[in-house]
Structure 1
């Protein structure tokens, strides 16, 4: 924990609900609900163009002094529902999301990838707009400059990078590389998913939000948006409420010319539905990038798992087929808690942590799920069924990663599942294991990239928003977050979300500054 944390002038632009002693009534050009990848990028773009911007965030603001690395402290602060959100179907798939200034960017691993060209071409072919290299390159570059994107430092990737590099090379893979990350100056503490204690990781609480506030935006934390305001058929603002310092209710009203909803893929569609918006695509088309993990034992090697970043190396040879290999090392606490062992077996497994290799893969899913209201606002009902095509791809990921480990000299390969760990000594045992009548429920499947529940579409029969991110039939209302992404990516999505949101916000700024539509008619708006 740092001995001293800087106090910047932009911090004066932050108002917490607990510090309010009366209700607030404000006016702005635009109000943005949410401060994650999409909301922060949109707020920055709008504020940079001279508009009055208010950001409403349900979570609290934390700086690096709060990121102690102690899970019992940081998980309740940074994660929604203590990280317990899960998709249910033919497997139980945890999908943790953030609730804080910065949203899930505060608790992700920092990996930064551009939207694959093939995916963008698919969007263009569906009639969703121009997603060509020429159209998006300036926006990608702006996002990458803001996040200080650069290849992971091999020193902080650690021995797991060498193991996977060796194993993948032995199998003939060529696209082996350090992952690009948003963590200039990283010192390798490996706490990326629990708030970076040095501010090296440029999550939006460190990058976009401070710059939006420097440009005049105001941030209100601890306020949950409850209702859209309307004048006739037009959306004209939002109401929110929070808890004051005495435990009472404090209300916030923001009247604005535009409302940008960026509450995340799970919560944006639920909020819109509560506002009476009816569209058959709302809450549907959920994709997750289902991810698998395979471990291996290297008894004679110290893998420095507690002294390296969780995700810093990748193998992309099969990315065009929907399979991307990326690191996935977890803290010691997670190593023990996820083992499903007890007694001496648990002790031996936990003691093997320094010698246990962690690596994973994610798939570009063709499966689609749905989000509906659940028993509590923090626990929506998330349904997702992994289809046969995707499960075959998942099994290929398990097989390929296990072979990488064996080629790199692993003593034993471990395939974790909800009911225990399958231990494999050689390729013959691997092949016998994969011949079993396996189902998705037999594997430990996780997901970190929910997308698509308020997707862009050609019209209201194809999606929830148009190419400008305007909600169909709802003048003044926009969606700029992962919910608007039209399909699964096969790449970590934060750069895509920021790029689409920044581009859409720039076009919104043009319309707000020139309601007659004279700007932006000659070509692509540039950053």
Structure 2
């Protein structure tokens, strides 16, 4: 497919496009392909087979995802208000870096009408019985086992400490192959047989080598990641087209009901600015979003202008799933009446081997508070070196003693040629790392966070405050396990800054019983958007409690089962179909006032001199309000910002000054949170000091823009230049009243009486309104941007300045002089 052009209709059509390949996307791809549907899976990251994951410092330094910085790696790190997030970018999604646990959501934790601080409720419109068969289906497809070894130090220590503290402990189902088949004993490094559907990587896999590197990507292939099962099985059907390094940017619904998906292709071999990548287009009957909680929420927020009527719940019910990392150091035990270090060896085994479940008040067994899970957390062996190097105070004296011995040997000719013992002393016993154990907590935190866009980027309002009691309980349980192990409990460093690290972000497009409390219906279809589904963590209306991967996969399986029962009639492509599903190219046009964009334009004088300047304005704008002052008031409360940066160009200064409408062109961009962020100006008009019927002078703005999803819009605005009470020159020339109109609406014909360009607030074509301002610093920058091009640069700038200052004089100073003379005459 080539890049998108105006009026282009895509020739590529498939039954379904799935965006993202995590637990929702991989399940959906297989279920639909296995049913005979033609599916395209678009994954922004690369494919990683056994042996492809980074391990060396140089490899890990580039193992992050940020294409704008030429990074195309596995880890995608986010920083938001109140928390840090770490997610995956690769074929298989989060399964590539998660800790293998596949636990079902507790039956009694599917809450209904659980009040939230600040109003609203956490409500699950489905229950355990709705997911039970889907849980089983996913477990069978992925393949699960419980940790089989009985001699792992960290596992035994964690289980003994938990039991001594009164907890119930068990080994959870893990998506790891410990043995070659169900009848064989667990044994590390054994070759795994190939599944009937093959493996899309074409590389051998072995049983778990107990290296603790699960969270960095499994290089042995023992981890049953989604690329080894669901995606390989989908590819084997012949109906799934799996595309890596394909990143979806936008989508909209066409008039025939199909979905038009905009995407770009990354090329790590020839990296370029992400903004320069050409957008491509594909059309589908069903669109399934599975880009992860952050990715899917961002896509929906960015494209909401192409989703009219989408639920006001978009962005809500954000939760960290109660993720909390704790650290135990210097474990010890009593041996023959002496306190000695307890060796835990956290690098031995998979990351998680055992689990504690702490009861919830919902369980009805006398428990109080919100429930959670605790798990041991292993780590790769090289982390031991990092931990030992962090103990600088202990290492420095040891190094000093070794240096002293070497000097002593040289100075006094002791003839000691063996220094092995000295080097052993320098390294030290490694006690700090061998007696350390991280702990993971997760559970039912309060899902009252909200995600939104700020300057085109994903932002979130989430704090510890409403879940403080929950997190204190988790910390207390971790400290109790530490006490049983004779270990010191330490919070992770971010806790002191009242921040947590989440690897299980949830919410943003929650399912709900209706479109006021949920973005999606109980089957994961977006309310009011037929054929659009959310099948990942964004669809969770609250925390899952345990590790959420299995519940995400089960909900996706259930959604696809329902989806396959719906109509799949292929839309018919009509010649000249609109891309955006809103107004066709050109937008609604009033025949009496519109200027024909195809009308001939008087040719430009080749010796003309142009004048240009750049203007930036900022303010607030909201949708659903037609009157600018009211729009400003509501947008300010919601922190919904708008700004633009425009380069205004008078291409022929003589024609510009002679024409009473003083027309110029405008180029640049508009950026508004509620529009999805950056919207390029496709065509723009500017008029300076146009007199209107009320003897005012107006500065008129009209911009044809396109939202990220492809919807055509027009921003109209005016500055009202008139002499009112008080000193109002500055506010008049720096305040812009704006409306947003449906489609591309052209300016009135030159002979039409000048008007502000705004429509009546109740006009159905008005989508929203607000007010923008020039801030003093932006105004100072604007004064430095005036440029002239042509043979008469100085005269052109002078002519523009004369017109500007003369108009201000006639608007403000002249009327006051007339009033003063009239007063003196009286």
Contact kept in structure 2, 1:332 and 1:353, CA below 8 Å = no
Residues 84, 514 of structure 1: CA spacing in aligned structure 2 closer, same or farther, 3 A cutoff? Answer: closer
C-alpha contact 2:22 2:94 (8 A) present in aligned 1: yes
Superposed CA deviations along residues 275-299 of structure 1, whole A, max 9, x for unmatched, are 2234322122110123131313136
Match of 1:369? Answer: 449
Correspondence for 1:290 among 304, 316, 323: 323
Provide the rounded CA distance (Å) in 1 between the counterparts of 2:65 and 2:346. 23
* 1:394-405 matches, cutoff 5 A: 394-405=471-482
2:508 corresponds to 1:453: yes
Residue segments in structure 2 that go unaligned for 5+ positions in a row? 4-9, 115-120, 179-207, 332-339, 364-369, 397-427, 571-826
> For structure 1, which runs of at least 5 residues remain unmatched after alignment?
1-14, 18-23, 420-439, 516-527
Deviations 1:402-445 (A, max 9, x none): 2223223x2x41313438xxxxxxxxxxxxxxxxxxxx535773
Aligned length: 464
Which is greater in Rg? 2
**Matches of 2:453 and 2:61 in 1, distance apart?**
24
1:120 Cα deviation after fit:
2.8
User: Which residue pairs with 1:109 in the alignment?
Assistant: 99
Q: Work out whether 1:146 is the aligned partner of 2:141.
A: yes
- Give the one of 151, 162, 167 matched to 2:156: 162
In the alignment, is the contact (CA less than 8 A) between 1:471 and 1:479 conserved in 2? yes
Q: How far apart in 2 are the matches of 1:451 and 1:75?
A: 28
Which of 255, 260, 265 is residue 237 of structure 1 equivalent to?
260
Instruction: Answer whether contact 1:29 1:256 (CA < 8 A) is retained.
Output: yes
1:20-35 alignment runs, 5 A limit: 26-35=12-21
Partner Cα distance (1:197, 1:480) in 2: 28
Whose RCO is larger (CA < 8 A, sep 6+)?
1
Contact 1:25 / 1:252 at 8 angstroms: preserved in 2?
Answer: no
Moved more, 66-75 or 96-105: 66-75
| Matching residue of 1:418 | 493
Q: 2:282 & 2:113 partners in 1: Cα distance?
A: 34
Kindly indicate whether the alpha-carbon contact (under 8 Å) linking 1:243 and 1:250 is maintained by their aligned counterparts in 2: no
1:178 to 139, 150, 171: 171
Query: Which is helix-richer, 1 or 2?
Result: 1
Deviations 1:319-343 (Å, cap 9, x if unpaired)? 5532211112333555676899674
Q: Relative to structure 1, is the Cα distance of residues 226 and 401 closer, same or farther in structure 2, using a 3 angstrom cutoff?
A: closer
Shifted more, 219-228 versus 355-364: the winner is 355-364
> Aligned equivalents of 1:268 and 1:315: distance in 2?
32
Is 1:474 aligned to residue 534 of structure 2? Answer: no
Q: Name which of 285, 290, 301 aligns with 1:262.
A: 290
Deviations 1:460-508 (A, max 9, x none): 2111111121111112211111000121111101100000001101211
SS at match of 2:224: coil
User: Are residues 209 and 250 of structure 1, via their aligned partners in 2, closer, same or farther at CA, if it must alter by over 3 Å?
Assistant: farther
Secondary structure of 2:132's aligned partner? helix
Q: Is the 8 A contact 1:121 1:132 kept in 2?
A: no
Q: 1:487 to 1:514 in 2, by over 3 A?
A: same
User: Distance between the aligned counterparts of 1:346 and 1:332, measured in 2?
Assistant: 19
In structure 2, the CA distance between the partners of 1:71 and 1:143, relative to structure 1 (3 Å rule), is farther
| Residue of structure 2 aligned with 1:86, choices 50, 62, 79 | 79
Q: TM-score, normalised by structure 1?
A: 0.79
Say if 2:92 is the partner of 1:64: no
Corresponding position: 1:209 with 2:231 = yes
Using the TM superposition, give the Cα deviation of residue 26 of structure 1 relative to its aligned residue in structure 2, in angstroms.
Answer: 2.4
How far, CA to CA, are the matches of 1:376 and 1:333 in structure 2?
39
Verify: 1:483 aligned to 2:538, yes or no.
yes
Seen in structure 2, the aligned counterparts of structure 1 residues 418 and 294 have a Cα distance that, compared at 3 Å, is closer
> Which of 322, 331, 334 matches 2:380?
331
> Aligned match of 1:223 in 246, 254, 277?
246
Residue 28 of structure 1: CA displacement?
0.8
C-alpha distance in 2 between matches for 1:189 and 1:55? 32
Deviations 1:76-98 (CA, angstroms, capped at 9, x unpaired): 44666854313323xxx322000
Contact 1:374-1:381 at 8 Å conserved across structures: yes
**CA–CA distance in 2 between the matches of 1:123 and 1:136?**
20
Q: Whole-Å Cα distance in 1 between the matches of residues 531 and 247 of structure 2?
A: 20
1:96-145 CA distance string (max 9 Å, x none): 00011111111110111112101235389988654342x32221111001
Secondary structure of the structure 1 residue equivalent to 2:87: coil
CA distance in 2 between counterparts of 1:287 and 1:205 reads 27
Mapped contact 2:482–2:489 kept (Cα < 8 A): no
Question: Using the alignment, how far apart are the partners of 2:456 and 2:388 within structure 1?
Answer: 29
Residue 464 (structure 1) aligned with residue 450 (structure 2): no
Q: Distance in 2 between matches of 1:418 and 1:395?
A: 16
In structure 2, the CA distance between the partners of 1:441 and 1:64, relative to structure 1 (3 Å rule), is same
Equivalent pair of 1:292/1:398 in contact (CA under 8 Å): no
How far apart in 2 are the matches of 1:75 and 1:184? Answer: 29
Deviation at 1:255, TM superposition (A): 1.3
Which residue among 128, 134, 137 is the counterpart of 2:132? 137
- What TM-score results when the alignment is normalised by the length of structure 2? 0.52
Q: Hey, what's the Cα distance between the residues in 1 that align with 2:133 and 2:323?
A: 30
